[in-house]
Structure 1
Amino acid sequence: MKLLAAPVILASVAAFFVWHASHGDRGLIARELRVVEIANARAELQHATDEREAAERRVNAMRGDRLDRDQLEERARAMLNMTNRDEIVIPYPQGRRLY
Structure 2
Amino acid sequence: MVKRKRMRAILIPVFLYAVSAAVVGYFLFHAQNGARGLEAKREYKRQIFEKAIELEALKAEHAEWDRRTALVREGKIDADILEEEARKTLGHVHANDVIVFLGSHGAH
TM range (shorter): 0.7 to 0.9
Query: RMSD of aligned C-alpha atoms?
Result: 2.3
Rounded to whole Å, the distance in 1 between the matches of 2:41 and 2:58 is: 26
Distance in 1, matches of 2:90 and 2:49, equals 41
Q: Report matched runs for 1:1-99 at 5 Å.
A: 1-64=11-74, 66-88=76-98, 95-96=106-107
Q: Percent identity?
A: 27
Output the CA distance in 2 between the equivalents of 1:47 and 1:25. 30
Residue type matched to 2:60 in 1? D
Gap runs ≥5 in structure 2: 1-10
Q: Deviations over 1:61-86 (max 9, x none)?
A: 11235532222221122122112221
TM-score under structure 1 normalisation?
A: 0.78
The 1-side partners of 2:72 and 2:100 are apart by: 25
User: What TM-score, normalized by structure 2, do the two folds share?
Assistant: 0.72
Amino acid at match of 1:80: L
Greater RCO (Cα-Cα under 8 Å, separation 6 or more): 1
Larger radius of gyration: 2
CA distance in 2, matches of 1:58, 1:89: 18
CA deviations 1:34-74 (Å, max 9, x no partner) are 11111112222222222122112111111235532222221
Tell me the CA shift for residue 90 of structure 1.
6.8
